[in-house]
Amino acid sequence: MRHDATVVIPIHDKNPVSRAPVVTYGLIIANVAVFLMGPIAFAGPDPDAARRARESAYLYRYGAIPAELVGGHGAHGGVGGVGGIGGIGGPGGGGHGGAMWTLFTAMFVHAGWIHLLGNMLFLYVFGNNIEDQFGRVHYLAFYVLGGAASTYAFAWANPTASGPLVGASGAIAAVLGAYAYLFPQARVTLLVPFLWFLPLRVPAWLVLGFWFVMQLPEFQQTIGVAGSSDVAYYAHVSGFVLGLLYAAVVVGRGPGGRGRGREREKETERELERERERGEGAAAGPLWPDYRGAEPDDPYGQYHR
């Protein structure tokens, strides 16, 4: 996730799960392990030409190249992060003939430490609840296919793009979309860089809605926030929309569905109220004054800052 176009950093959600999120932890471990085994993890701030060539070859070998996926064209150009920072630009080689398997390998490749850590933070905060709601096998399939679909959607919309797309953010955007539908009122604690990293606690719909609009280049231009030509924002947008629609159409109508998420949110709200009554926890501290929404009888109309 490119943070100059995200400008909020979620660090925790008040949304307990019923079992350990082993798939989410496994995905985080897999992404970190792949990164550590690649040539980029231990590159210095000013790599020489030989190292740059190795890094570029690595990204072109395992990244998804839109022009090859949908048009069969050769690979050349800069690196695009699927939701992250494209750490290496310039010409490259090593095309792979539009191999569809790169839709899957690309989501485990990252172009730098910030790219990796930003993605894993979002997955850590939001992935556990989607895993708990979907079930482990279902969640893993959703994550992988969501990442592949968002990458292909970007390729379809940009059929001449010839730089490799890498990163897990397409898959994570699908997770965020599902979370926004299933747990819109869950409390999320985040840091806001332009407020000196002041921690705020707000509803998930506000965090994820803001994140979503910040992925729209038109909105970035309107508010004067710098985007990046190395970031595949359309992959974020398509992944988020696909995840939200999937949760609404497939999961939300199944057993439990959104109602299960709503019940969990209500239990979390009751726990917060108990903390306030006891004068315990972050909910009672001076950092979290309550604000009431338009409907005073709606416990989800309040947020904390």
Supply the pLDDT for residue 134. 96
Supply the pLDDT for residue 8. 79
Exposed / middle / buried, residue 29 (Cβ in 10 Å: 0-12, 13-18, 19+): exposed
Q: Report the sign of the C-alpha dihedral through residues 68, 149, 12, 218, in that order.
A: positive
* pLDDT greater than 80 at residue 259: no
Give pLDDT tens digits for 88-135: 333 344 555 558 899 999 999 999 999 999 999 999 999 999 999 999
Tokens 């992944």, residue located: 239
Structure confidence at residue 43 as a pLDDT band (50, 70, 90) = confident
Please tell me what DSSP assigns to residue 164.
P
Check residues 226 and 24 and name the one with the higher pLDDT: 24
Supply the pLDDT for residue 11. 93
Check residues 151 and 305 and name the one with the higher pLDDT: 151
Q: Per-residue b/e over 137-148, b at no fewer than 16 CB within 10 Å?
A: eebbebbbbbbb
Supply the pLDDT for residue 220. 62
- Long-range contacts, stretch 219-227, CB < 8 angstroms, 24+ apart: 220/5, 225/4, 225/5, 225/7, 226/4, 226/5, 227/2, 227/4, 227/5
Give pLDDT tens digits for 192-212: 877 777 888 999 999 999 999
CATH class name, domain 3-284: mainly alpha
Supply the pLDDT for residue 89. 32
Supply the pLDDT for residue 196. 74
For 134-158, give the DSSP string.
Answer: H-HHHHHHHHHHHHHHHHHHHHHH-
Please tell me what DSSP assigns to residue 75.
P
Q: Whole-prediction pTM value?
A: 0.76
Cα Rg of the chain (Å, integer): 20
